[in-house]
Amino acid sequence: MFNKRVKIKELLTWQAQDQQVTVMGWVKTFRNNQFIALNDGSTNTNLQVVVELGKFDENLLKRVSTGASLKVEGTLVASLGKGQSVELKANKLEVLGDADPEKFPLQPKEHSLEFLREIAHLRFRTNTFGSIFRVRHALAFAIHKFFNEKGFVYMQTPVITASDAEGAGEMFKVTTLPFDKTPRNEDGTVNFKEDFFGKATNLTVSGQLEGELAAMAFAEIYTFGPTFRAENSNTTRHLAEFWMIEPEMAFYDLEDNMNLAEEFIKYIIKYAMDNNREDLEFLAQRLQKEESKLPQDQRSSMSLIEKLSFVVNNQFERITYTEAIEILLNSPAYKKKKFQYDVKWGIDMQSEHERYLVEKHFKKPVIVTNYPAEIKAFYMRQNEDGKTVAAMDILAPGIGEIVGGSQREERLEKLEARMKSMHIPTEEMWWYLDTRRFGSVPHAGFGLGFERMVLFVTGMTNIRDVIAFPRTPKNAEF
């Protein structure tokens, strides 16, 4: 019976009392035809399986190679070796699946992250990616736990939508129309009336607008699902498919929104620190080793664990966009022309500007509020100055923007006027505007890019390494 196996993570906490146990896993190494390092994915720590010389058939032992899967029944005994308190003395050994050592690409040596991205279907078996995805799981669980404890309702918003929440236009189109015989209108445009949905549809860039509809009934909701951007961007910070957490709260203003977002970030980081300490310590060592190759001025001033603890235990700095621009204009980096992009009031701050504020000036996460209306979305509440909107971005060390949010414009007339000025068809958004016609209330929300949060917590530097199968320009493998 397979479900009688004991997970290695649990087994390593036992006191050895000659218990008879069954374990299953994959071979990491097999030394001297006697010592098998076995791992089942529950922890990075391997279980040493001791094979008594002469006990098993030589042809069976030849199949025990790196990558092969085994079922081992044996006796749990105290270990005399360093770094382990117990080991398993094998009584019965079964190869569940062979791995040809001449072809299996993950031999026991150090592999580059670039190489591992090419074999993303196997990279989970490495220690680095084992730790990353266990931490990712913990963060995902903590997200649901946080909102559930606060009484939020989890909403699943559509992946296929006819609306563009951001007005960005960089969307993947969804169609069943044939590419070679696309039906056309008299003016040459595509006749979507013959398409599956009878109109132009896309993969969603955000669940926010639909989330607002639900918040007008349940008061507090959140979404957690995949979003898509057809942005031809080959950077370490962008993906074409990524996951977003988007809470929407009725009866919230901008300050309430900031308070919730800060509490949320601290909660999920603390959960990972409390429940995945071993994985985070492994990733911290990995990061330290990577940074040791860099010049001193490019190394982090804190270790990964120190950075996470600092974020959890300190208040985020809060400044306005106008104050942020003044800090940048007065900075040594600006005066010495070290910024690649210009700084002036009205710009959409680049990553280098955001990271300067966080890493050089304040040395902690920063919440920037009240951005120019011209660079923000139509749904953000207009401030009394006529120039800015009640937006807020949270900037994190090493990444830049990790959360974007705002108080939403609840006043129908102002929202309609803003949409018209931005050429957003109000007639197609009748359902969204109905929330302002029938019992409108002050409300707010934010979006957190899940992969950027995983990137921050794991200390990785490329977003393609914190999602199982990255979707990027010219890459849709697996």
Domain of residue 22, CATH code: 2.40.50.140
Give the pLDDT score at 173.
92
Residues 14 and 142 in one domain: no
Looking at the structure, tell me whether residues 322 and 373 fall in a common domain. yes
Q: Indicate if 229 and 311 belong to the same structural domain.
A: yes
**CATH code, domain with 249:** 3.30.930.10
Per the CB < 8 A criterion, the answer to whether 262 and 456 are in contact is no
Q: Does 186 reside within a domain? A: no
Closest among 222, 206, 225 to 257, alpha carbons compared = 222
- What's the pTM? 0.94
- Same domain? For 230 and 90 the reply is no
Strands 47-50 vs 86-97: parallel, antiparallel or unpaired: parallel
- Same domain flag for 249 and 356: yes
Q: Is residue 291 part of a domain?
A: yes
Same domain (yes/no): 149, 27? no
> How would you write the pLDDT of the chain (478 residues) with one tens digit per residue?
567 899 999 999 999 999 999 999 999 999 999 999 999 999 999 999 999 999 999 999 999 999 999 999 999 999 987 778 999 999 999 999 999 999 999 988 889 999 999 999 999 999 999 999 999 999 999 999 999 999 999 999 999 998 766 655 589 999 999 988 899 998 989 999 999 999 999 999 999 999 999 999 999 999 999 999 998 888 887 899 999 999 999 999 999 999 999 999 999 999 999 999 999 999 999 999 988 888 887 778 789 999 999 999 999 999 999 999 999 999 999 999 999 999 999 999 999 999 999 999 999 999 999 999 999 999 999 999 999 999 999 999 888 899 999 999 999 999 999 999 998 889 989 999 999 999 999 999 999 999 999 999 999 999 999 999 999 999 888 8
User: Within this chain, do residues 130 and 97 fall inside the same structural domain, yes or no?
Assistant: no
Residue 228 CA to residue 248 CA, distance in Å, equals 20
Q: What is the pLDDT of residue 292?
A: 87
In a domain, residue 46? The reply is yes
Question: Considering its fold, how many domains does the chain have in total?
Answer: 2
In a domain, 37, yes or no: yes
403 shares its domain with 325 = yes
pLDDT at site 164: 67
Q: Would 187 be classed as within a structural domain? A: no
Domain assignment present for residue 96? The answer is yes
Residues 67, 211, single domain; the answer is no
Q: Given 82, 109, 136, which residue is the final one in a domain?
A: 109
Report how far residue 192's alpha carbon sits from residue 188's, in angstroms, rounded to the nearest whole number.
12
Q: Are strands 153-154 and 220-228 parallel, antiparallel or unpaired?
A: parallel
Residue 182 inside a domain? The answer is no
| pLDDT reported for residue 478 | 84
Q: What is the pLDDT of residue 475?
A: 87
User: Cβ–Cβ contacts within 10 Å for residue 98, how many?
Assistant: 14
Same-domain check for residues 214 and 360 = yes
The whole domain housing 44 covers 2-109
Does 285 share its domain with 400?
yes
Q: Which of 257, 213, 249 is nearest to 390 (CA)?
A: 257
| Whether 265 and 335 share a structural domain | yes
43, part of any domain: yes
